[in-house]
Amino acid sequence: MKYEFIRAIHDLESRLYRRLSLGAVGRAGLAICAGIVVLCGMDYILRINDKGLRVIITAVAGLLIVGSYLRFIHPVLRLRIDGVMIARWLEQVDARWRGRLAAAWEFAHLASDDLRWGSPELRALLMNDIEAHAADIGRLCHRFKGPGLVAFYIWLVALGVIACGFIFQPVVFGTAFIRLFNPFSDLAWPQRTHLKVVHYPEVVSRGGQFSIEVAAERGLVPDDVWIVFREAEGDERTTVGRFSMVRRGNRFYFQRDQVRSDFEFRIWGGDDFSHPWRLVRVVEPPRLTSLAVQLEPPTYTGWKSEVTDGPIRAVAGTRVVLRGTADRELRRVWILREPGGAVAAELGANRRSFRFPPEGEAVPSQSVGWELETSGRYSVHLEAEDGTFSVGDPEWEIRVVPDLPPVIAMQPQVPFLLATRIGRLPLRISARDDLALKRVTLELQNGAWHHSMAVLEGPQPYPKPRGKMSDMESWGETADRDLWLDLAHIEGISEGTLTATAVAEDYREQSSASNPLTIEVVTKEIFRDRMLTECEKLYDRLSEIYNIQSRINQEWRELWTSVTANRDIPPNFSERMYT
């Protein structure tokens, strides 16, 4: 073809068909990529292993591919674009060629000697006229780009992303495509969660507790980790139960109480199903065969050491030494004190006996004594060499009686404390201590002058043996002393105010004092005048009592006269008699 306008229309025809094809391919590719990503992502998240569901997913992927082809690509393949259509469209765009461009296109494709469409001269004249504007027609065709290729470019980007995925994560993306297009494949997804059993006992005491700790070794931390138990014996091992473990941070914990027989357990979480069944054996727990508790009272009490088999009753400050034996070799022994916490005991050479506090050569620098200060309770716990623990350990009471300071009181036996320098005053001193009284003294003070009188002296250096420390009813000592304070036998005393205080001391060197008594030491003249004054007060009081008695006698005579005169007893007779 020698006409330029024909070549321009042909170029526009090719460009339109090419852009329509690329757009259809881009839209179909986007739909297919989006569908495949959704299906693979669903399989990745749900980890679908059921073959039937995977066949359905593969069928959906196939329907998506076929539907995208029929919806986008097949209509473009059936489309036929010819020059006449483009020429008529250009006539509508530019009115200069209306009714002429399409005819020129058709005339150009007829033979020169074909007379059905008019004379060749007229057809040539029309085509030459259109050819004169071929440059304008070419520019118009080049200005029209055709349908957009946004979908095609987006599809190329999506393909690039998928290609990067195959480069950087070939296992994941390869697994996704194989599982999608081959539903009967046994290929599994790469494992995201990797669990590790940090600790669990392979042997548990019968009636004891089984505990396990699981951690996420790497990968994702699952929301839940499950543990399932089953019987360890029998052809058909019955599943005992499935339980969710307790999560604390990135670790999971579970405990099972009152274990009675051998069992197996298995854990899983997230997509980690790789852990096998683990066997746990149940054996008899270690037990105490003997326990001796030696109590060593404080030295000042004078009590001897005692030995008990569990419960402790002692005075504060008593040292405790525990010795015991078990029915098998032990790994460790600890004593749980409340209050006081847990302390470790020392194992003997045979690893069956133990002692607390430790006394071995390698231990003294680390040894911890046990001195009783407060009441509470304690228990002994054992761990055998096979890792089993004692079960149902008994708790024993600790009853500690504190050794308090003594209590003392002093009372005068006269209504007033007044005396001369040669006078005597009667006093009563009462003292009591939880254990025993070491001494009781009377302390006198007159200004700078001081004098001490012994009232009671206990045995030295310790009190007399009396009962046992555990026999608390035998504890305590009480002393009551009546004495005369003879001022004539006390040198250095002078007139003025004399302060007397009773002081009691026990064998723990604790002391207490009574309330002080204030005694007035006066001359004989002042004492006589004071006595005369007190006698006058006494006489006045006796006179008042005499008057009261006389009034009572008079009222009684009047009452009796009234009763005998009327020969009847009024209702209030008894009340008046009482009054």
Phi-psi region of 284 (alpha: psi -120 to 50; beta: other; left: phi over 0): beta
Mean pLDDT of 499-503: 89
* Least confidently predicted of 367-381, 489-503, 552-566: 552-566
Length of the chain: 579
What does the alpha-carbon distance between residue 65 and residue 55 come to, in Å, rounded to a whole number? 15
| Cα 17 to the center of its chain, rounded Å | 72
Average pLDDT over residues 482-495: 80
Q: Is pLDDT of 261 > 70?
A: yes
In degrees, to the nearest 5, what angle opens at C-alpha 119 toward C-alphas 114 and 124? Answer: 95
Whether 108 has a pLDDT exceeding 90, the answer reads: no
**Verdict on whether the full-model pTM lies above 0.75:** no
| pLDDT over threshold 50, residue 365 | no
In degrees, rounded to 5, the angle at the alpha carbon of residue 159 between the alpha carbons of residues 154 and 163 is 145
Decide: 284 and 389 in contact? Cβ < 8 Å: no
Q: What is the pLDDT of residue 316?
A: 87
Q: Which residues contact 495 (CB under 8 A, 6 or more apart)?
A: 421, 521, 522, 523
| Contact predicate 310/379, CB 8 Å | no
CA distance 564 to 553: 17
pLDDT in tens, 214-227: 998 888 888 899 99
Quote the tokens at residue 50: 């059921």
> Which stretch of DSSP H or E encloses residue 141?
helix 134-143
Average pLDDT over residues 60-79: 90
The confidence score (pLDDT) of residue 578 equals: 57
